[in-house]
Amino acid sequence: MRGLPPAARAYVLCAVLGALACVLPALLGSGTPRAAVALLAVLYLACELAKVCPRLGGRAPEGIGAFFPVVLAAVFLLPPSAAALVALPGALAGAAAEPPAAVRRVWHGAQQALAAWAAGGTFALLGGPAALGGGARPGGAVADFPYVMLPAALAAVVFCLVLTALEAGVLATAERRPAATAWRAPLALSLAPHCVHGLAGLMMAVLWRSPYGPPAALLVLLPMYISCWVFAQYHHERAAHRATIRALVQAVDLKDRYTRGHSERVGQASAMIARELGMAEDRLEVVRIAGILHDVGKLGVPTRLLRKDGPLTPEERRIIELHPEYGHEMVRGIGFLGEARSAILHHHERVDGSGYPYGLSGGQIPVLARVVAVADAFDAMTSTRSYSRARPVPTALGELERCAGAQFDPDMVGALVRAIGRHGWHPAVTSDEELQVIPRSAPAAAPAAAPPAPPAPTGLTGLPGLPAQNAESRAHRDAGGATTGPGGTG
């Protein structure tokens, strides 16, 4: 836990202590149905370990929650403290994608134990155990359908809410994300799956209480295992898509050596803007991909133009300005990109209508294209190139604010300024260039310690300090059209 901020460490510790308080009554109490707890706990542990089964493609994605029905069945069948105890072994044995693995496993155990305890309390409070009955066994009552579905559904919702709230708390304390954003997007994505898991858990509980007993309840896991396998295949397909995107970006970097690493940083800055604007998590990923692929059309531009040291001729400039259309054609058939295709096509448009390829203005420009345009120009100004040293981050942000309303969307510029003011700018440093990094705590407008930048040449406002002899051509190739030549701001 040494790498976590103090607030995050305290938060995790409180969650662990709370989970221990939840499971202690089951461990120490004499009325705990220990045989049922042990059977369900072992079953949940086995289901979690099954996610690394070779038939799942070697490994299922972390955190897919495919076997939460076992925990929810425990919620419906056992007292709240016993249900919390059932969740611990599987959660502690789950995969941890990033270090420290031990801390992450303990956190997941505490998280699931607290969620199971809260869900069990909700189910008991609404009369769920009585409605579930004892099946058709002698002296037992048949489950009260459809009423039993109400406390079961609400218990599943509470289980989801507690998991999401705890996760949002970690993100807010460890990464300083806005609490509302950290809570809203995961909840929207996980609520429906958890309700489905609740229904499967209820089916397990009803069969468990039936004359056929626990063996019949295991049949419910078969379709859940199949769903896990299908989800794993989807995950592997997405991984193949990412590999394809990575290959395209590497091809662009090899062709235009002056902008190596630029695509990944634009994707990072685009995601920061989108998150600050409160975009949903799935759309945020599309924004990031759009930023990464925004210059893929350079593959269709002659290498001699991309590497030319002198100014571009009007004909060469027209060829360069075709690269958004080239890029759009290259990714047209990649269905999962969605809105990213329009961002690739229009990221050189300007809000005053003087951009290219179609001269769109204002709201005519797709939202994601406006995001990528700001991220593209920001990285061009803050990256060290062979012809220009990096500008300090506050200087680049000031330049973006000056051009807001003419070249850039003011909302997108403001979002980037706020995001960097809150989180700092920490791109991955490559071996090819030295990047400007400001600390997380530094305000966006803080004075930089770097030497003062030389004054910008007249009319070349998008990239201050570029050498006069090649600023115009390089700006077009590297800064997303931030400077279009003398006499204008872009």
CA separation for the pair 81, 274 (Å, rounded): 41
Query: Among 458, 478, 476, 477, which Cα is nearest to 468's?
Result: 458
CA distance 160 to 122: 12
Q: How is residue 298 written in tokens?
A: 């350079």
- Judge whether 351 and 375 are in contact, CB under 8 Å: no
Tokens of 278: 């409160």
Give the span between the Cα atoms of 296 and 252, in whole angstroms: 6
Q: Is the pTM of this model over 0.75?
A: no
CA atoms within 13 A on the CB side of 348: 25
Run means of pLDDT, 10 residues per run, the chain, 490 residues: 77 95 91 91 84 51 61 94 94 73 88 96 94 59 82 95 90 77 70 85 89 83 72 74 81 73 90 92 88 90 81 89 91 80 94 93 93 94 72 92 94 94 75 34 35 34 32 40 34
User: What count of Cα atoms within 13 Å lies in the side-chain half-sphere of residue 404?
Assistant: 20
Is the separation of the CB atoms in 305 and 316 below 8 Å?
A: yes
Residue pointed to by tokens 């699931």: 112
User: Which residues are registered as beta bridge partners of 385?
Assistant: 388
Q: Are 128 and 155 in contact (CB under 8 A)?
A: yes
CA neighbor of 478 nearest in space, from 382, 345, 369: 382
Place of tokens 């930023």: 291
DSSP state of 64: -
Cβ–Cβ < 8 Å for 18, 114:
yes
The per-residue pLDDT for 454 is 35
- According to the model, what pLDDT value does residue 129 have? 92
Structure confidence at residue 403 (pLDDT): 94
Task: Name the amino acid, one letter, at 459.
Answer: G
